[in-house]
Structure 1
Amino acid sequence: MRYDDNLKCLRLEGGEPPKDYLLVLMMDRLLVELYDQAGSGKGKNSSVFVAMDPNSEEPDYVVKFCNDHDKLIGSIHEKKRMRFDREIRALLKAVDYHKNAFLLNIVDHGTEKIGGYSFKYYVMEKADYDLGTFLAREKLSLQQKIVLCDGILKALMALHEIGIYHRDLKPDNIFFVGDQWKIGDLGFIAFREEDFDIDDRTEKIGPTGLLSPEATNKAFANRNNPEFEIDCIIDDKSDVFQLGKLFWYIFQGAIPTGQLIFDDFRIGDLDIFNNIIIPMLQYAKLRRPNIVQLDNNFEPIRKKFAVV
């Protein structure tokens, strides 16, 4: 990829012939403004653009830049660049293990010089819409909701099969592409095989309202008193808990909190409530299913609602 700072366009050079694409901002500010704020440490972790072929001959792509360029010094900026690198590494791993059908596909990646600053970036396929947008405008039958939950479950299962935990599941990070739901935004992922923790000790990992108990405790619990033994490890079972909250949101548009009883579950299906939702939303990890067990629990629901 080559970026033209004057024309505000980029060239994706992998094709024959190379194509020039116009950049259209998707987020709230231009990337090229970032180097005017060097050292401020403010703003989102990344800026996302649509790359459009002016001649409409090629599909649109999305380009995601890490906001923390090479001139921003310090452990905070270094960690953000490291997380961006890990996101790219996870996407490439999905390609290597043939799981990329369940994630937004990566097309290109590297570092680009813009205005005297080096920005990490990657290029990916463009989604049609995200889950939050879809649920805000569509009225779904119960069977359609089951199909939707099943598609997201399979995508998360593919991620876990290659040893990656998402840890930031929310409607904004689930995308529809073509005819399939895919997972995106891997900025908070963890790799199962790694023996070091990139997270700060009390860092909030995950979306507000959908945090697992261990993510909540990591950020807010009394961890200084040795009297208390508190699980603050955010892993595959944390994804299952977040997915349970996401399923509840899909079924009835609310975020589940407090002690849940069947009367709270307005769709009125006891099998889904007892065998899917309640096991996923257990406080203790040992009582939650892993992703394979959850998939097995889901099989009778698929048969009941004729979901293939």
Structure 2
Amino acid sequence: MERLKSTDPKRIGGVAIRGRLGNGGMGRVYFGVTGDGDPVAVKVIRDELLGRTEVRARFARELDALRSVQSPHVAPLLAASDESEERPWLAIDYIRGLSLKELIEERGPLGAEQTATLGLLLTKALADIHAAELLHRDLKPGNILMGREGPKVIDLGLAAFLEGPTDLTTSEARLGTPVCMSPEQINTPRELTAATDVYALGSTLLYVLTKHFPFQDQVALVLLHKISSPNTQPDLGGVPESFEPLLRRMLAFDPAARPAVSELHSWFEQMVGNQLSTAIRNLAVTTYVERDTDPAEQIPPRKPPRKDLSTVAPPGSVIHRLAERLRNNYASTARF
């Protein structure tokens, strides 16, 4: 968490703003505390984008999606601005844990059993999102927070209707995060189905197991070409044998070849076995790393005061005389 800048708001709605959590392409997220002392994450549109109709429409879409989705595996909406407000905002439950991406970067890949449990819970999240007749369209390790009670999916800013084209896909709109983007999000972005979220979940679980994505390249255009071409195959190196057939199907180029969310749920449930509650508890315990919510504690300690060079330099030396002169000049001007 970062300290607030002088230009940042001190209150949004009834929330006291305490620090910055991060910035996205279109929004900024703050850490805040409600009047009842509950920690929340408050999202706003960046100042320079407030005048853009498409950005405001996407923000409204995210708000509608959060109101529609009821799931224990999606961070819930707690409050939001009135439609008449010029500066829209929304507040969701603050998940005091690392993102899945941060967790894997810091601790390395998870084992097959933990990944199966994670896959089961994320499949339930997708089922709940799809039950609200929506697509997430941007599921990725960075949009999954590992909370005290397990994973929570966040950021429905790219949510779209499950049936029919979205009105927010234009040449200027970000279609998703390339490393987790399905081929059809590049080739036919107005013809997406639930299979695009299945692909993103497959990319996410591959990263959890191996710390790499299906396709990688430093050049964005080359990466997009690899993803969108039927002639390139995803890199499944390092995947446990038990996961390889499933991930290959989830990452199939043809959306129709991917398993349905209900099939994924059955597969993960079978892999986890009869000790589901124990597996979920163990996953939460081993992946929960509590974030520090006090931005003041993130500030580096003040540097110790500089030593008076006149006390350490040899008397009569150039440094000694210069230090004395500076000290005397400061003493004479300090009175004013």
- Structure 1 position 149, deviation (Å): 2.1
Task: Summarize the alignment of residues 237-248 of structure 1 with structure 2, pairs less than 5 Å apart.
Answer: 237-248=195-206
Matched residue, 1:228: none
Distance in 1, Cα, partners of 2:214 & 2:112: 18
Q: Percent identity?
A: 22
The answer to whether the Cα contact below 8 Å between 1:67 and 1:119 also exists between their aligned partners in 2 is no
**Higher relative contact order structure (alpha carbons within 8 Å, sequence separation ≥ 6):** 2
**TM-aligned CA deviation for residue 176 of structure 1:** 2.3
State how 1:95-134 maps to structure 2 within 5 Å.
99-111=70-82, 118-128=86-96, 129-134=98-103
- Structure 1 segment 213-292 matched on structure 2, within 5 A: 213-218=183-188, 233-257=191-215, 258-259=232-233, 264-269=236-241, 271-274=242-245, 276-292=246-262
Q: Where is the helix percentage greater, Structure 1 or Structure 2?
A: 2
Q: Equivalent residue for 2:66?
A: 91
Letter in 2 for 1:46: G
Decide whether the 8 Å contact of 2:135 with 2:197 is kept in 1.
yes
Selected match of 2:25 from 21, 34, 44: 44
Name the structure with the higher strand share: 1
In the other structure, the counterpart of 1:210 is 180
| Residues 1:135 and 2:104 are matched in the alignment | yes
2: CA distance between counterparts of 1:81 and 1:195?
19
Please say if residues 50 and 61 of structure 1, whose CA atoms lie closer than 8 Å, have aligned partners that are also in contact. Answer: yes
C-alpha distance 293-46 of structure 1, shift in aligned 2 (>3 A) = same
Number of residue pairs matched? 255
Q: 1:62 and 1:206, CA in 2 relative to 1: closer, same or farther beyond 3 A?
A: same
Match of 2:40 among 58, 61, 73: 61
Q: Is the 8 A contact 1:24 1:50 kept in 2?
A: yes
The residue aligned with 1:10 is 11
Aligned residues: CA RMSD: 3.2
User: Is residue 2:57 matched to residue 1:82?
Assistant: yes
Structure-2 separation of matches of 1:60 and 1:71: 26
Indicate which of 289, 295, 306 corresponds to 2:265: 295
Give the structure-1-normalised TM-score.
Answer: 0.72
Q: 1:216 to 1:196 in 2, by over 3 A?
A: closer
When Rg is computed on C-alpha atoms for both structures, the one with the higher figure is 2
Contact 2:50 2:87 in 1 (8 A): no
Counterpart secondary structure, 1:235: coil
Does the residue aligned with 1:100 lie in a helix, a strand or coil? coil
1:214–1:7 Cα change, 3 Å: closer
1:174 Cα offset (Å): 0.7
TM-score by length of 2: 0.67
Residue by residue, what CA displacement relative to the aligned partner does 1:237-259 show, whole Å, maximum 9, x if unpaired? 11111111111111111112342
